[in-house]
Amino acid sequence: MGAAVGKAAPAKARLDIAENTIFQRNRGIWDAAAACTNERLLDAVDEILDLAEAQPFPAASAAAARLDSALRAAMSLMMDEFMCLRVWNASSHDLRLAVDRLAVGASANALWQHTFPSTGDRSSSASTVGRASAGSPSSAPGDLVGFLDGEFLDELQLLCPASLLVLHEIAHRVIRAGYTKELVQKFTNSPCDVLDRFLSIFQGECSRRTTVDLIKRWSLATHLVGKALVVMQRQLYTHNSPGAFDALKDEYFLAITKNRILNLLKFADDFTSITSHEKLIYILGMYQALSEAAPGLLLMFTGPHKELVAERSEEILAKLAMSIRSMVASLIAKVRDGVSNTKNIVGVGVHPLTKYAVLCIERLAPHRDTLDLILASGGDDVASLSDLASRVVGSLEEKPVLPCDDDATAAATGSRHHLFHANNANFVLQSCKPLLGDEWPAARESVVERHVAGYAEACWAPVVACLEPAGRKPAAKVVAKFSAAFDRAYESQARCEVRDPALRDALRRAVSDKVVTAYGVYLKTHPKLEKKLRYTAGELGERLSELFEGEAAEHNK
């Protein structure tokens, strides 16, 4: 602008032109992509700054007041330019595509399980705590897995390099004018397209989404924001273009990070009052996402800001932990009430409540370390996932099992009781053994062994007792009575089913050890009975080897 009025021109004339250029502008200096499109306007700002430093007008004059007003307008323009500048690049095709796909329910579900895995895909109508989400770890879109793991972000240029040069230009003029405080205040509300795009995964249209969906999206967003901040910080501080903005980088990055992190924490805080066991796995995922992200997030802050974020994070983690402990108590009560409301247990197979309890444990097992930490700090009886497993599966153990008919003997009732509990305890043991370490399975094995022995005693001890008659009864009659008792016991057990091969063998072995062994000893002491026997000891063993096949045994006859 010096062609018309140079530095040697009267100060008032220079002010007139610069002031008019600033107040009559119809566009800014830089566009969003950091390309300078209005050098004349930038020259006008510099002219105002030169005049403000020179102070050519008397302090109380109208011209001095005009210069002060023009300086404020020039700085307001710099603030506007800063707010309109695209510092962070979220327009990358790959980034937009990835985030858009994460916003779709199926991809969000699959990737949530990739990040916070559960096991299997069995479902239960009892509760969503054990219900598999849509998708499974193996169904997570492969091109998005790397994105979630942070590898994708490392390859992206999140910082717009040209914008840093403009930030230096703006900071230089703002600092020169003494308006640094005002610019720093603008940092708080400055845009950050990268973080805002990640936050959009769970923000917006919240009223149209389920609680579970929102929790999943929040957990994914928290996971991604933590990784993105590391990449953003590295790119901002390692970019080789020194300038005036370097002195403000710390405050700038702190500002764009702080409010967004606090918004993340506020969103999580809204879910800390949930106590229904149906949401346990998801609240546990939320706790895990925050606890894993928090250390990295705190590295972004210093001083009182770090203290504030640390305090809020710890407060929300504590509230989530309290909510999780309440959910665990609710889960135990759910199973216990289910047992109480189950008036009659007739069959000997694995009960639906046992399957439900195991399904819960399976879903929680991938989060065992986190859950154990939460439960151990609660001071309750349930201090670990192993304790929880014992409580929920132990509720059925003392539940009596009713006989199949009103005329059943005490032996039949007792045998069904032990067979039912052996089946259920073994199902729990085999399902949870890989999940709960060594001590817990050892304790459950003793429960299975006790019921196997109890079954053999309740059902087959009366049969063996026939070999020990009172008085001097003829051996032939003793064997006949034994055979009849054996047939009755066998028929009562023929349709009982034990699906686990190892348990089936253990039961058969226990019965054989009791019945066949005693029968063999008796026959050895009465060798003359050989031609009058209905069963040899070997034939008894063969018949017992057919037990516990259920309906299949009937079809094979």
The DSSP result for 237-277, as a single string, is: HH-S--SGGGGGHHHHHHHHHHHHHHHHHHHHHTTTT---G
Residues 409 and 491 occupy one common structural domain? yes
Q: Is residue 281 part of a domain?
A: yes
For residue 36, give the DSSP letter.
Answer: B
Q: Crossing angle, helix 475-493 and helix 410-432, to 10 degrees?
A: 50
Write down the pLDDT at residue 118. Answer: 52
Query: Confidence band (pLDDT; 50, 70, 90) for 138?
Result: very low
Residues 110 and 70 occupy one common structural domain? no
Residues 427 and 321 occupy one common structural domain? no
Residues 363 and 432 occupy one common structural domain? yes
In terms of average pLDDT, the best of 257-261, 332-336, 440-444 is 257-261
Residues 443 and 357 occupy one common structural domain? yes
Residues 224 and 243 occupy one common structural domain? yes
Q: Across all residues in the chain, what is the average pLDDT?
A: 84
Query: Confidence band (pLDDT; 50, 70, 90) for 211?
Result: confident
Write down the pLDDT at residue 200. Answer: 84
Write down the pLDDT at residue 121. Answer: 39
In terms of average pLDDT, the best of 67-76, 94-103, 224-233, 468-477 is 67-76
Using the structure block, give the residue that is written with the tokens 């983690």: 317
Q: Is residue 34 part of a domain?
A: yes
Residues 63 and 162 occupy one common structural domain? no
Report residue 435 as tokens.
């999940």
Nearest to 85 by CA among 170, 175, 149: 170
Tell me the CB-side half-sphere exposure of residue 3, using CA atoms within 13 A.
2
- Do the Cβ atoms of 532 and 479 come closer than 8 Å? yes
Q: Is residue 158 part of a domain?
A: yes
Write down the pLDDT at residue 221. Answer: 86
Write down the pLDDT at residue 454. Answer: 95
Query: Confidence band (pLDDT; 50, 70, 90) for 506?
Result: very high
Share of the chain above pLDDT 90, in %: 50
Alpha-carbon gap, residue 405 to 415, rounded angstroms: 14
Write down the pLDDT at residue 150. Answer: 58
Q: Is residue 141 part of a domain?
A: no
Alpha-carbon gap, residue 183 to 188, rounded angstroms: 10
Q: Using the predicted structure, report yes or no on whether residue 176 has a pLDDT greater than 90.
A: yes
Rounded mean pLDDT, 85-95: 84
Query: Confidence band (pLDDT; 50, 70, 90) for 526?
Result: confident
Chosen domain end from 328, 354, 382: 328
Longest dimension (CA), the chain: 142
Query: Confidence band (pLDDT; 50, 70, 90) for 2?
Result: very low
**Region of poorest pLDDT, from 16-30, 292-306, 335-349:** 335-349
- Do the Cβ atoms of 56 and 46 come closer than 8 Å? no
Q: Which residue has the higher pLDDT, 225 or 472?
A: 225
Residues 107 and 60 occupy one common structural domain? no
Residues 321 and 356 occupy one common structural domain? no
Q: Using the predicted structure, report yes or no on whether residue 143 has a pLDDT greater than 60.
A: no
3-state secondary structure of 30: strand
Beta-carbon neighbour count of residue 33 at 10 Å? 14
Alpha-carbon gap, residue 367 to 358, rounded angstroms: 15
Ramachandran region of residue 303, left (φ > 0), alpha (ψ -120 to 50) or beta?
A: left
- Do the Cβ atoms of 192 and 84 come closer than 8 Å? no
Q: Is residue 531 part of a domain?
A: yes
Q: Is residue 403 part of a domain?
A: yes
Ramachandran region of residue 161, left (φ > 0), alpha (ψ -120 to 50) or beta?
A: alpha
Alpha-carbon gap, residue 130 to 124, rounded angstroms: 6
Q: How far is CA 456 from CA 73, 94, 169, in A?
A: 95, 66, 89
Residue 341: phi, psi to the nearest 5?
Answer: -85, -5
In terms of average pLDDT, the best of 84-93, 222-231, 241-250, 405-414 is 241-250
Amino acid letter for position 465: A
Residues 167 and 236 occupy one common structural domain? yes
Alpha-carbon gap, residue 200 to 260, rounded angstroms: 11
3-state secondary structure of 497: strand
Q: Is residue 450 part of a domain?
A: yes
Tell me the CB-side half-sphere exposure of residue 172, using CA atoms within 13 A.
12
Q: Is residue 378 part of a domain?
A: yes
Using the structure block, give the residue that is written with the tokens 């004018």: 177
Chosen domain end from 306, 328, 350: 328
Q: Based on the structure, what is the number of domains in the chain?
A: 3
Using the structure block, give the residue that is written with the tokens 């890989």: 434
Q: Using the predicted structure, report yes or no on whether residue 411 has a pLDDT greater than 50.
A: yes
Q: Using the predicted structure, report yes or no on whether residue 361 has a pLDDT greater than 70.
A: yes
Chosen domain end from 297, 328, 359: 328
Query: Confidence band (pLDDT; 50, 70, 90) for 186?
Result: very high
Report residue 56 as tokens.
């050519």
The CATH code of the domain that includes 410 is: 1.20.1280.170
Residues 494 and 522 occupy one common structural domain? yes
Alpha-carbon gap, residue 148 to 324, rounded angstroms: 26
Q: Which residues, 6+ apart, have CB-to-CB distance to 199 below 8 Å?
A: 221, 225, 260, 263, 264
Domain region containing 297: 93-116+146-328
Q: Which residues, 6+ apart, have CB-to-CB distance to 433 below 8 Å?
A: 441, 444
For residue 58, give the DSSP letter.
Answer: -
Share of the chain above pLDDT 70, in %: 83
Residues 268 and 403 occupy one common structural domain? no
Amino acid letter for position 402: L
